[in-house]
A and B are shown apart, each in its own frame.
Chain A
Amino acid sequence: AQSVTQLGSHVSVSEGALVLLRCNYSSSVPPYLFWYVQYPNQGLQLLLKYTTGATLVKGINGFEAEFKKSETSFHLTKPSAHMSDAAEYFCAVSQSNTGNQFYFGTGTSLTVIP
């Protein structure tokens, strides 16, 4: 069975500060990992994904994440927060043998303080 845990349902950072959103997963086979962002009244937009290869993944809007197999983690970071980064962030896991069935974390709401 697969599951995703996002530590911290709410995270606040000052504008210009480091953003760190935590994600841990459990998977019985090598996982595919994703981070999505959701703005109010909108669907989800892909930030970045890890499938195979390089464990440090760069995404859109300056975000990146590192796959650490030993820690079963896939934390999302951004060096300097912008006001426009305020949104809900979801970590998701899937497996190659389950098609497009994704398991999402409960989300982390990011607030950026001016």
Chain B
Amino acid sequence: KAGVTQTPRYLIKTRGQQVTLSCSPISGHRSVSWYQQTPGQGLQFLFEYFSETQRNKGNFPGRFSGRQFSNSRSEMNVSTLELGDSALYLCASSRTGKTGELFFGEGSRLTVL
């Protein structure tokens, strides 16, 4: 069974640009969550989608957005990139809409110059 797939794995952007990250969940999983991981702040929740609807949102500015498609694949977008957006962005999928085990991808490492 294929795991959670995130693309791209690594990317470099400059300040002011925007970026789109993609996540394909495990087959049959309808919940997709996104987390930002940095050395200073640790793992912080961005948002969660279930059946194409955003159910929860973390405390991030509106520059961070996401969406989920009918096949459960998800994308997150960060506009007007800042240096502080450099981080590992982790996607996690879960089979149910209730609290359950999260299965994580390997992440997309974003560097903003």
Q: How many residue-residue contacts, CB under 8 A, span A and B? A: 70
Label chain B's interface by main secondary structure.
Answer: strand
Residues of A with C-beta under 8 A to B56: 98-101
Q: Is A77 an interface residue (CB 8 A)?
A: no
Q: Is A53 an interface residue (CB 8 A)?
A: no
**Please, how many residues of chain B have a CB less than 8 angstroms from a CB on the other chain?**
27
Instruction: Give residues in B with beta carbon < 8 Å to A.
Output: 4, 31, 33, 35, 42-45, 48, 50, 55-56, 58, 90, 92, 94, 97-107
Q: A44-B104, A96-B99 provided; 8 other pairs, C-beta below 8 A?
A: A43-B90, A43-B104, A46-B101, A46-B102, A99-B99, A100-B50, A100-B97, A101-B56
11 A-B residue pairs with Cβ-Cβ distance under 8 Å, sorted by A, are: A43-B92, A43-B106, A44-B90, A98-B99, A99-B31, A100-B33, A100-B102, A101-B33, A101-B58, A102-B45, A107-B43
